[in-house]
Every structure is written in structure tokens, then in C-alpha cells.
């Protein structure tokens, strides 16, 4: 009897530590890229048109997973943007995806409003559900209206209230990003100015 109990105790201890080990591995491994902190400072931001274009907006990935970001951005039925994703339509408004679990309400997106000049970017406002843009609109309140499969990305037809900017105006604002030097890519529309 005593022997049996001892076996059970030992078995329990071994099983327990295996569980801890499995837990530790699970924490470290499959989700390793996702668990890395996404650190954002004013220096994170750069010339909009140097980022990767997707249709009429631009993307990047701060953790080196541009492929993952592009896969979701180009998917016809949506998906969840991977951590590190940067999405921008205008030079001054940015969405960045943090690691899973960072903020349940915003699905881990952080919203940024920037001031930009030839000298670079400065962060005017950042946060999750309470960032207001310079037109008095709450980023999250609009973006959360996108249907769930679009992961808070509005584009057109995803369920958000539209912005009062035509595609032509958006293109004009993109091309006028003061952080972009004359040597920056995709300034084709600007030839007349140089
Ligand atoms: C009035 C609602 C509204 C507000 C407020 C708003 N957005 Fe948007 N945003 C939109 C819509 C609609 C689009 C898509 C526009 C298009 O593609 O023509 C968009 C596009 C974007 C995009 C490109 C990806 C996408 O969702 O299509 C980013 C990034 C973005 N907004 C960030 C922000 C940030 C950051 C703020 C706050 C500083 C903000 N937005 C405020 C409605 C809004």
C-alpha cells in the first residue's frame, strides 16, 4: 500500500514537471514571434511611400513578418494581422498591431496620430480606444465598425463610416509626405516638381 502511494506521488511529481516544461515550451516556441514586444517610438515611423503598397494604402511589419502582414492585407476574406503589422493610409494616422492579448477591445491594435515634417515624425497622440484625430474623430470608434473578418481595417465596404476624403485627395496627401526625400521610391507623380 505504502509503495503504491509513493509511486503515485512520484508519478504525480513527474507529470507535474512535464506539464510545467510543456507550458514553458509553449510559451517560448510556437508563438515566439507573437510574444516579442512591439516597441514604438517616434523613430519607428518613416516616409509613407517607402513602405509596401497594398491597393491604396501602405503596410510594414516591425518584427520582420512583412509576408504575414501582406498575406492578410491581400486576402479576399480577411484575417487577423500578425503582431508588428503597421498599416497607414495617411502620413499622420497609423495603426500598429501589438502581441496577442495586448488589448482585447482593439484586437491588439494601437492607434497613432503623428506630426510629420522634413525632420521626421513626432507622436501627437497614441493609445487604444481613446485616440482622437485632428478632425475630432475617435479612431477606434470608427474602425471597430469594420466587420469582424476585417480586423478593424476599414477600406471601403467593410462596414465603417466613410472618411470625407476622395481617393484622389488621399493620393495627394500620400505623395506630399514631407518625410520623403527626393530619392524616395514611388514619387512618380512628382516629376514635375523637381
Ligand atoms: C470617421 C471614421 C474614422 C476615423 C475617426 C478614423 N478613421 Fe481611419 N479610416 C476610416 C475609413 C472609412 C478608412 C478607409 C478609407 C478608404 O479606404 O477610403 C480608414 C482608413 C484608415 C487606415 C488604413 C487601413 C484601413 O482601415 O482602411 C488606417 C491605418 C487608419 N484609418 C488609421 C486611423 C487612425 C490612427 C485614426 C485616428 C487617429 C483614424 N484612422 C480615424 C475611418 C476612420
78-123 per-position pLDDT tens digit: 999 999 999 999 999 999 999 999 999 999 999 999 999 999 999 9
Query: 136 or 18, which is more confident?
Result: 136
77 CB burial (10 A radius; 0-12, 13-18, 19+): exposed
Q: Is the residue at 192 inside a domain?
A: no
79 touches 69 (CB < 8 A): no
Distance, in Å, from the CA atom of 120 to the CA atom of 80, rounded to the nearest integer, reads: 30
* 165-190 pLDDT, tens digit each: 999 999 999 999 999 987 665 544 44
Query: Which SS3 state, helix, strand or coil, does residue 52 take?
Result: strand
C-alpha 93 to ligand 1 mean position (Å): 8
Cα distance between the two ends of the chain: 91
Residue nearest atom 6 in ligand 1 by C-alpha distance? 139
116 touches 92 (CB < 8 A): yes
Query: 135 or 18, which is more confident?
Result: 135
> For residue 16, what are the contacts with CB-CB under 8 A and spacing of at least 6?
none
Residue nearest atom 15 in ligand 1 by C-alpha distance? 155
pLDDT for res 190: 43
Together in a domain, 61 and 122: yes
Together in a domain, 141 and 96: yes
Q: Is the residue at 107 inside a domain?
A: yes
- State the pTM of this model: 0.82
Complete DSSP assignment for 98-127 = -STTS-TTTTTEEEEEEEEETTEEEEEEEE
Query: Domain limits at 9?
Result: 2-30
Pocket test for ligand 1, best of 143, 147, 152, 174 (most atoms within 8 A of CB): 143
Biggest alpha carbon–alpha carbon distance for the chain: 93
Together in a domain, 19 and 53: no
Together in a domain, 106 and 91: yes
Query: Which SS3 state, helix, strand or coil, does residue 91 take?
Result: coil
Amino acid at each position: 500500500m505504502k509503495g503504491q502511494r509513493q509511486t503515485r506521488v512520484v508519478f504525480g511529481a513527474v507529470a507535474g514537471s512535464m506539464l510545467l516544461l510543456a507550458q514553458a515550451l509553449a510559451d517560448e516556441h510556437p508563438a515566439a514571434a507573437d510574444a516579442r514586444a512591439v516597441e514604438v517610438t517616434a523613430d519607428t515611423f518613416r516616409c509613407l511611400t517607402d513602405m509596401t503598397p497594398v491597393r491604396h494604402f501602405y503596410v510594414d511589419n516591425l518584427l520582420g513578418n512583412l509576408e504575414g502582414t501582406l498575406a492578410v492585407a491581400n486576402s479576399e476574406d480577411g484575417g487577423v494581422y500578425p503582431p508588428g503589422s503597421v498599416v497607414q493610409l495617411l502620413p499622420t494616422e497609423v495603426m500598429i498591431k501589438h502581441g496577442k492579448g495586448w488589448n482585447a477591445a482593439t484586437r491588439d491594435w494601437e492607434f497613432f496620430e503623428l506630426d510629420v515634417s522634413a525632420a521626421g515624425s513626432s507622436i501627437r497622440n497614441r493609445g487604444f480606444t481613446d485616440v482622437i484625430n485632428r478632425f475630432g474623430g475617435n479612431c477606434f470608434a470608427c474602425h471597430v465598425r469594420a466587420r469582424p473578418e476585417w480586423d478593424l481595417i476599414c477600406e471601403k465596404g467593410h462596414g465603417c463610416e466613410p472618411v470625407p476624403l476622395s481617393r484622389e485627395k488621399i493620393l495627394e496627401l500620400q505623395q506630399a509626405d514631407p518625410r520623403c526625400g527626393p530619392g524616395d521610391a514611388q514619387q512618380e507623380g512628382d516629376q514635375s516638381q523637381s
